Amino acid sequence: MTRKAAVAGSFYPSDKDELESIIRKLIANAEDSQIKNLKGVIAPHAGYVYSGPVAAFSYKQMINLPNEKYNVFLLGPAHFVHTTASIGMFESFETPLGTVKVNQLICENLLKNRIFDSTVDAHILEHSLEVQLPFLQKTLNNFEIIPILLGEIPPDSLTEILSQFFGKDGNIFVFSSDLSHYRPYAVANKIDLHTIKIITGKSIEQENEIDACGETGIKVAMRLAASAGCNIKLLNYRNSGDTAGNKDAVVGYASLAIF
């Protein structure tokens, strides 16, 4: 069973050529921070006109990865269906650029842990993972995904399970999250920069001050990075008032590298 694209034509173009052109331009305009030993990224998940210029900074770093096969652990918030941690047990995910294969072996092994479920409905309309896929398709030559939507789940429990995969050769983690929502521009900047400081400092003792829709994934990212001795670096921060909207009520976006 293939999971069909749900937000092609709204969050990003449904035309293959147009989509390729946009991603190519976004990545060309993003800075290459020359990150060594990249283990994962945090990237936003709004419509490309809003968050695409920021998300491109995360994916720019993937171009420098060795040319090999990757397992991409793709974690994002479940916006529409109540779940704990839902694994997308599809054969593949479809975008206008083609299909992305799911690593069903890893997914099946994860499902042996009771904290996971395989609620198909959680994935059908969800955009937080889907919008990452075209970027991955244009930056990695050979990869499979482990798609996980997060709801109400203790980050410590999830970290314990995922730590066996994090930092291993051939594994890359993508944590999908926007930051604060619908606050005035100056207020959003202050809140988001505080959140970013907590993330880059791996300040788990302050994690309840994080303001982000994908906060559970971010908390897991901080724990995995801390336990593996990794750094987290801000690559780019903007909000919708900087990219394609007014400044009265903005949404914050950040790209960060874990290395």
Domain count along the chain: 1
Over residues 213-227, the pLDDT tens digits come to 999 999 999 999 999
Residue 46: pLDDT band (50, 70, 90) is very high
Query: What does R_g of the chain's alpha carbons equal in angstroms?
Result: 17
Domain that holds residue 246: 2-31+41-258
Over residues 133-170, the pLDDT tens digits come to 999 999 999 999 999 999 999 999 999 999 999 999 99
Q: Is 227 among the domain residues?
A: yes
- H helix count then E strand count, the chain: 9, 12
| Both tokens assigned to 243 | 């990219």
Identity of residue 253: Y
Domain CATH number, residue 27: 3.40.830.10
Q: Is 150 among the domain residues?
A: yes
What is the pTM (predicted TM-score) of this model?
0.97
Q: Is 36 among the domain residues?
A: no
Please determine, for residue 245, whether its predicted confidence score (pLDDT) is greater than 90: no
